[in-house]
Amino acid sequence: MYQRNAAPRGRPAYSNGLYPPLPVTRCYDYNHQSVGGVNSFHAPEPQRLPPYEWNPPRSTSNVPPPHTPTMTNGRKRQNIEYSPHMVKRQRLDTFSHPLLGSPVIQAPSPPPHLEQVRAESSRSSTSSYERSYSSPQFDIHPQGPAVPESFNSLQAYAKDKLSRQMVELFEACQQQSSDLERKERCRAQLQQDIQGIYAVARLYLTGSSMNGLGCRSSDADLCLVIKGTKRPDPIRVLSHLQRAFRSLSYVERTQLIRAKVPILRFRERGSDLEFDLNINNTVGIRNTFLLRSYAYADLRIRPMILVIKKWARHSQINDASKGTLSSYTLVLMVLHYLQTLKDPVLPSLQRDYPECFSPSVDIDMVPEGPKRVPPYVSRNQSSLGELLVGFLRYYATEFRWDKQVISVREARALPKTNSHEWTNKYICVEEPFERNNVARAVHEKMKFDTIKAEFAESYRILKDRKDLNSILPVRAVINKESSRR
Among 80-94, 329-343, 345-359, 464-478, which stretch is predicted with the lowest mean pLDDT?
Answer: 80-94
Give the residue among 37, 17, 18, 20 at the shortest CA–CA distance from 29.
37
Average pLDDT, the chain: 77
Mean pLDDT over 252-263 rounds to: 94
Give CA–CA dist 248/4, Å, rounded: 5
Q: What is the pLDDT of residue 485?
A: 57
pLDDT by residue (tens digit) across 102-145? 323 333 333 333 333 333 333 333 333 333 333 333 333 333 33
Mean pLDDT over 257-277 rounds to: 94
pLDDT by residue (tens digit) across 435-456? 999 999 999 999 999 999 999 9
177-283 fold = Beta Polymerase; domain 2 (3.30.460)
Q: What is the pLDDT of residue 72?
A: 46
Residue 152's CB is within 10 A of a number of other CB atoms, namely 17
Q: What is the pLDDT of residue 216?
A: 93
Mean pLDDT over 321-329 rounds to: 97
Among 136-140, 172-176, 308-312, which stretch is predicted with the lowest mean pLDDT?
Answer: 136-140
Give CA–CA dist 175/171, Å, rounded: 9
Q: Are 103 and 55 in contact (CB under 8 A)?
A: yes
3-state secondary structure at position 55: strand
Q: Are 222 and 276 in contact (CB under 8 A)?
A: yes
pLDDT by residue (tens digit) across 338-359? 999 999 999 999 999 999 999 9
DSSP codes of every residue in 386-428: HHHHHHHHIIIII--TTTEEEETTTTEEEE--SSTTTTT-S--
Q: What is the pLDDT of residue 228?
A: 81
pLDDT at 298 over 70: yes
Q: What share of the chain is helix, strand, coil (3-state, %, to 5)?
A: 35, 10, 55
Q: Are 200 and 217 in contact (CB under 8 A)?
A: no
pLDDT at 388 over 50: yes
What H or E segment, with its residue span, contains residue 246? none
Q: What percent of the chain has pLDDT over 70?
A: 68
Give CA–CA dist 51/29, Å, rounded: 11
pLDDT at 370 over 90: no
* Residue scoring higher pLDDT (101 or 54): 54
Q: Which CATH class is domain 157-175+299-483?
A: mainly alpha
Measured CA to CA in angstroms, residue 314 lies from 107, 454, 469, 472 at distances of: 36, 11, 12, 7
Q: Are 213 and 305 in contact (CB under 8 A)?
A: yes
Among 35-44, 59-68, 243-252, 287-296, which stretch is predicted with the lowest mean pLDDT?
Answer: 35-44
Helix extents (H) in 25-160: 112-115, 128-132
3-state secondary structure at position 29: strand
Measured CA to CA in angstroms, residue 54 lies from 73, 90, 102, 429 at distances of: 28, 22, 10, 30
Residue boundaries of the structural domains of the chain: 157-175+299-483, 177-283
What phi and psi values does residue 484 have, to the nearest 5 degrees? Answer: -70, -35
3-state secondary structure at position 20: coil
Q: Are 34 and 99 in contact (CB under 8 A)?
A: yes
Give CA–CA dist 462/455, Å, rounded: 10
pLDDT by residue (tens digit) across 2-24? 444 444 434 444 444 555 554 43
Q: What is the pLDDT of residue 22?
A: 45
